[in-house]
Amino acid sequence: MPGVSGARLYVPRPRVSLADWCEWTDNDWNKVQNVVGRSFRLPSPTENVYTMAANAVLDLIKTYEVDPRRVGLLAFGTESSTDNAAGAVIVRGMVDRGLEQLGLPRLSRELEVPEFKHACLGGVYGLKSALRYVATDGKDRIAIMVAADVAEYERGSSGEQTQGAGAVAMLVEAEPKMFEVDLSGSGSASSYRGPDFRKPFARHFLPEYAPDTKRLSDFPVFSGKYSTYAYLDEVTQAVEAMLAKQRESAGKFYRRVKGIFFHRPYKMMPIQAMSFLYVRGLAHGENHPDELAQLCDLAEVDPKDLVAEAIDNRDIFAPIQEGREPENPFPATTAVASALRKQESFRTLLADKMRLGSEMMMDLGNLYSAALPAWLAAGFEEAVDGGGLAPHDPLVGIGYGSGDAAESMPLFVVPGWERAARRIGFRAALENEPLDLTREAYEALHDGDRSIDIGAEPKNAFVVSRVGDSYSPGFQDLGVEYYEYRS
C-alpha cells in the first residue's frame, strides 16, 4: 500500500501564550487550557500561507534527502489562499529558487501542482490525491503533500483563542517508510450544511464585517454550536462507513487500534468526537448492554431515544433552511457522551489511544487543513522518542472540513518506521526561536498596525518581498505577491 515516508512542520515565530491572553481578555485560564490548549502562532508581516508551505516543503526535501527531479506531484491543501487562480505552483516557484541557492536541481518540470480546498479537509484530500498518484500513474516517482493555513478570528469573538498558523509537508511514496494508508478501506462522508463555517467573498464588502479591524482579513463567518453538531455528525458518518468496509464493530475496532488521530481545531473537539463515536457504537448494538444502561441512567436518557438517533439520518440543516435557530439534533447521544467523558474507563481509553502527540499539539493552535497531518507527525515523533508504536500497528486518521465532509483512513505502521520518524523535528520546530508577544504587539500584528516593530522577521525562510502595483494595458501585476529567501 502507498503511504507516508516523512513529515516536517513549519510555524512562524510570533507566539501568543493563552495564559497571557486570558489575562488580557479576562477569560478563565483553567477553562481555556482544558478546552483549547496553551498557545498559538501568528504569521509575521512578511509571511503568508504560501511562504509557510514553501518553507515546509524545502525543509522536507533537505531533511529526507529527496531528489527534487523525482517529485511528480506537489499537492497543496489550504483554505487561506490569497490568489484565486494559482496555488501550489506559487509554492513550487519558491522551492525552485531555494533549491538553486542550495546548489540542488529544481523540481521536475513534469510536476503536477493542484490545490485542494474544502475548509479543514483540504490537506487530507491532497494526501489522498498524492497516495493515488504514487499508486497509479506515478510509477517510480514520489509525491509531496503540503497543508498550510492561517486560522484567524476577529478579536473579541468566541473563536479568538483557537487561532493558529503553520504548515506540514509530507513525503508520499508507493513503498512508504513510516506508515501505509489503506485507501480501499477508508470511509468518506459529505453533506451540504450551509453556514456552519464559511468565507463568502461578499462579506468583505459589507459594513457589518470586522468593523474594528482596519486591514485585509480572512475571518470566517461561523456558528460555533452548529459547527460542532456538523463535525460530530459528519465524522461519525465517515467512521461508520469505514467500519462497514472493515466489517468490524466499533467496539472491537477501538480496542484493536493503537492510535486514533482526529482533525483537531482545539484540544476538546477530538475528545467530544471520540465520546460521541463510542456512544454511537453502543447504540448500534455493541454487546455491552450493562454499560449502555448505566450511561443512559447517569445521563437520564431513555435508551430507546439513543438508538433512534443512531438509526435516523437527521437533516441538521433543515432548521436553518426554515429560518430557525440551529438545534441539537442528537440530544440523547450528546448527553450520554457527556456522562461517558466523566468515566475513568473513558479516560483510560483516551490515554491508550489518543495520547501520542497530544501534548505537543497544545502549543500549536488550529492549523485548519494541516491540523490532522500535524497531529500524525507529532504522534510519530513522540512514539519514536518514548515508545508506543510497533511495526504493523493499526492506526486511524480522521479528517473533517466544514461545509461538511469527513474522511476516515486506516493506517498501518511499517517496519523501520523509526528512522523516518526521527527526522520529523516537530518539537524542534516549536522551539525554533519563538517570539512571545506582548498584548500591544499581539493586537498590532493582529490588526495590521505596522507602526510597531515586533522583531518577528523570519530567519532562513521565504518571505513576501513586495506586492505588485502595475495596472497598465501592456503589463499588470496589481496585488501579485513576490517572494524571496532570506537568510
DSSP string of 142-190, one letter each residue: EEEEEEEEEE---TTSTTGGG-EEEEEEEEEESS-SSEEE-GGG-EEEE
Residues 6+ apart with CB under 8 A from 185: 242, 245, 246, 410
Query: pTM of the full predicted structure?
Result: 0.97
Percent of the chain with pLDDT over 70: 100
**Percent of the chain beyond pLDDT 90?**
86
Instruction: Place 268 in a pLDDT band, splitting at 50, 70 and 90.
Output: very high
Is pLDDT of 451 > 90? no
CA distance 79 to 75: 13
| Residues 391-441: tens digit of each pLDDT | 999 999 999 999 999 999 999 999 999 999 999 999 999 999 999 999 999
Which of 100-114, 206-220, 421-435 is least confident?
206-220
pLDDT given for residue 287 in this prediction = 64
Cell of 419: 528512522
Omega cis (within 30) before 297: no
Q: Average pLDDT of 192-208?
A: 91
DSSP run (H or E) holding 485: strand 481-486
Looking at residue 68, what DSSP letter applies? G
Sign of CA pseudo-dihedral 233, 239, 242, 243: negative
Residue in 20, 12, 14 with CA at minimum distance from that of residue 38: 20
How do residues 10-43 score in pLDDT, each as one tens digit?
999 999 999 999 999 999 999 999 999 999 999 9
- Contact assessment for residue 226 and residue 196, using Cβ atoms and an 8 Å cutoff: yes
- Asked if pLDDT for residue 115 goes beyond 90, the answer is yes
Most confident range (mean pLDDT) of 160-169, 286-295, 316-325, 379-388 is: 160-169
